[in-house]
Structure 1
Amino acid sequence: MLDIGLGVIAAVLLIATLVPFLHIRYWWVRGFDFPRLQLASLAVVVGAAHWLWGTADWRWWSIAACIAVAVIQAAHILPWTPLWPKPVRTATSNREMRYLTLMVSNVLTPNRNAQGLLEQIHEHQPEIVLTLESDDWWGEQLEASLGEEWPHSVRIPLDNLYGMHLYSRIPLEETEVKWLIQSDIPSIHTWLRMPCGARIRFHALHPRPPAPSESEQSLWRDAELLLVGKGIHRHEQPTLLAGDLNDVAWSRTTRRFCRVSGMLDPRLGRGMFSTFHASYPLIRWPLDHIFISEHFTLVNMQRLKAFGSDHFPIIATLCYRPARADENETPEADREERREAAETIDKARKEGDGEA
């Protein structure tokens, strides 16, 4: 009975590992991109258990399946561990005029522990604060606490879980709120005026996820991310992109976004910085992201304390060093990836009701 049970689990793990190789956008397929660390860990446990306590002659097939699962999953998540080289260089400059600290937090609309977040904002003093899922109530709490010290803001209070608030100590210029792919999903596009005089392009996104209660397919999420990514690549300016992308760092879409846009993930070679789910330590993955162009180096990055939301806040301090741009390893998409990205965007434009 033990052999059968472990064999069944091994088979399920192998199927769950192979499903994401299907280039299908349905949520139940794309969902298997998320728990790669959990699947790899479970495969190691099941394989070891079957080796130690199994008696059936066929148990080696089960063990082989577990090894295959662990290897495939590890290949996907290994870049987000300290074992991998860091494509984003660590900052060496101490010129604070070139430093920029950005904090991102999905607040969870019904969560009412605003004080837990606001205390962390005041403790860490970021130049930029971006909140997601913030409605009118959250907007009032943020404005009352941040309005004076962070005088530049973009406020989009919504009760559909896609509200956004952006607060900044430094000037925001040429700010636009766009509804790119769907008419109820906003995004913020602005310029940050650094104390050193440089202008930094900034994009804030929170696309709709593929989930039973949201969307059957990942089309809307994928298209919004790739659309903004194409624009970033076209203009080749110092750029930051942040938000809850409802996708993990190692997914096919997120990796394609980095190659299409040329943006860098500062977590590579440093850690996963998993931000969701704050209440379940064994079921966590990185959904909240900060991507940077090659013009930046990283001072530090950390996940902050839980405050009642299902997401942890994440914060990064960056150094604007365009002179070191050549030291960063910029990803690049091939012709086939650009063609597939264009097809995804065109399909979403035809089926969506956004501005793009």
Structure 2
Amino acid sequence: MNNIDIIFFLLTFFLMSVTLLPLLKHRHWTIRLWEFPRLNFIIFAFLLLSLEIIFLDLSKIFSIFLIGITFFILLYQSIQIIPYTIFYPKEVEDIKERNNPIDIMTANVLMHNKNVEGFIELVNKYNPDIIITLETNTWWEKKLSILEQKYKYNVKCPLENLYGMHLYSKFKIECSEIKYLVEDKVPSIHTKIQLPSKQKIKAHFLHPKPPSPTENEKSTNRDIELIMLAKSLKEKELPTIVTGDLNDVAWSKSTKTFKEISKLLDPRVGRGIYSTYNAKYWFFRWPLDHLFHSSHFKVNKIQRLPYYGSDHFAILTSLDLCETQEKK
């Protein structure tokens, strides 16, 4: 092999390795990490395939072998991503005229971000009915108290460990609970919300720890939290919404398992990826902030909101409760 062959072999081997590693069942962050950048790998594979066709000697079996591997990697990674594009059928129907609307803003504000004015400007501009803030501590709670003039119902859980959360709602909140499903000091909020139509829905707000060298070495706790919640939702007595920063991507095995067990729908399917992290670096961006809902809802629109200083973009999901159940 000449130098060009060696370079392309090493690049192809790397791409093949990071494509195959997520197929392993091991939960260590060094394995699970490679589930995240599938879109990056698609771009990498496309560029590599193009360069291999241009620079490799196509009369050699070795060259055809490398090109074939790169092509199948490109195909495989694309298959994982395509449900989150406009080229795939929508999982949730569109609705334009809403009779029972609910707009939910999900925002990981970044605890050390001090641009609270920018966040409040977003709230005032987009005027959501419900806001869930993540990574909010006591400082953020005090600064966001101004929202309580409009959002009279709230649940507060300030923490200084990056896992505090606050719920602000225009609609009446009932039976709210703060639970620590798997880990101490990693809360989740579970509540009933009464819409103006008097119809009640159940809402669950999560922010599990990610698998990473600075948090949990393995994805076990994150995955258990998702599965615990999913199992509790199998028998849905009311229309249900789950949202938050799940520290997982939409196409991962964990998220797919959550959907399969919970029977909830993902409104991004057939609409777009809506990557929310990292807001500061366009080339390092994945969909970590999610909203899932039961089949009672249809979608008006989904919006990734403008940058306001956090490492996450906020996301606004506009739904309509079309299929109601008996009010409880």
Structure 2-normalised TM-score? 0.96
Partners in 2 of 1:71 and 1:236 — Cα distance? Answer: 41
Structure 1 position 94, deviation (Å): 3.3
Structure 1 position 111, deviation (Å): 0.7
Residues 100 and 318 in structure 1, CA contact (< 8 A), matched pair in contact too? yes
Structure 1 position 55, deviation (Å): 3.0
Which residues of 2 match residues 1-356 of structure 1 at below 5 A? 1-55=3-57, 57=60, 58-95=62-99, 98-143=100-145, 145-322=146-323
Partners in 2 of 1:235 and 1:46 — Cα distance? Answer: 47
Residues 297 and 320 in structure 1, CA contact (< 8 A), matched pair in contact too? yes
Residues 181 and 187 in structure 2, CA contact (< 8 A), matched pair in contact too? yes
Structure 1 position 4, deviation (Å): 1.6
Structure 1 position 235, deviation (Å): 3.1
Letter in structure 2 aligned against 1:81? T
Following TM superposition, where does structure 1 have runs of at least 4 consecutive aligned residues deviating by more than 4 angstroms? Answer: none
Residues 103 and 317 in structure 2, CA contact (< 8 A), matched pair in contact too? yes
Query: Structure 1 pair 30/52, CA: closer, same or farther in 2 (3 Å)?
Result: same
| Match of residue 352 from structure 1 | none
Higher helix share: 1
Partners in 1 of 2:251 and 2:237 — Cα distance? Answer: 24
> Identical aligned pairs, as a percentage?
39
Structure 1 position 141, deviation (Å): 1.1
**What SS does structure 2 have at the residue aligned with 1:204?**
strand
Residues 266 and 291 in structure 2, CA contact (< 8 A), matched pair in contact too? yes
Residues 199 and 324 in structure 2, CA contact (< 8 A), matched pair in contact too? no
Partners in 1 of 2:322 and 2:83 — Cα distance? Answer: 24
Deviation per CA, 1:101-148: give whole Å up to 9, x if none: 0000101111111111110001111000001011111111111x2011
Partners in 2 of 1:139 and 1:63 — Cα distance? Answer: 55
Residues 207 and 245 in structure 1, CA contact (< 8 A), matched pair in contact too? yes
Residues 114 and 138 in structure 1, CA contact (< 8 A), matched pair in contact too? yes
| Match of residue 351 from structure 1 | none
Query: Structure 1 pair 47/171, CA: closer, same or farther in 2 (3 Å)?
Result: same
Deviation per CA, 1:242-291: give whole Å up to 9, x if none: 00000000000101101100100000000000000111111111000011
Partners in 1 of 2:139 and 2:301 — Cα distance? Answer: 32
Residues 3 and 50 in structure 1, CA contact (< 8 A), matched pair in contact too? no
Residues 239 and 324 in structure 2, CA contact (< 8 A), matched pair in contact too? no
Residues 306 and 312 in structure 1, CA contact (< 8 A), matched pair in contact too? yes
Residues 7 and 59 in structure 1, CA contact (< 8 A), matched pair in contact too? no
Partners in 2 of 1:310 and 1:203 — Cα distance? Answer: 23
Letter in structure 2 aligned against 1:8? L
Letter in structure 1 aligned against 2:128? P
Partners in 2 of 1:160 and 1:186 — Cα distance? Answer: 11
Deviation per CA, 1:60-94: give whole Å up to 9, x if none: 22211111111111111110000000110111443
Partners in 2 of 1:237 and 1:259 — Cα distance? Answer: 18
Partners in 2 of 1:72 and 1:283 — Cα distance? Answer: 21
Structure 1 position 3, deviation (Å): 2.6
Residues 304 and 315 in structure 1, CA contact (< 8 A), matched pair in contact too? yes
Deviation per CA, 1:216-241: give whole Å up to 9, x if none: 11111001111111111123420000
Letter in structure 2 aligned against 1:201? K
What RMSD in Å do the two structures reach over aligned CA positions? 1.2
Partners in 2 of 1:104 and 1:305 — Cα distance? Answer: 13
Query: Structure 1 pair 176/323, CA: closer, same or farther in 2 (3 Å)?
Result: closer
- Number of matched pairs: 321
**What SS does structure 2 have at the residue aligned with 1:38?**
helix
Letter in structure 2 aligned against 1:75? I
| Match of residue 335 from structure 1 | none
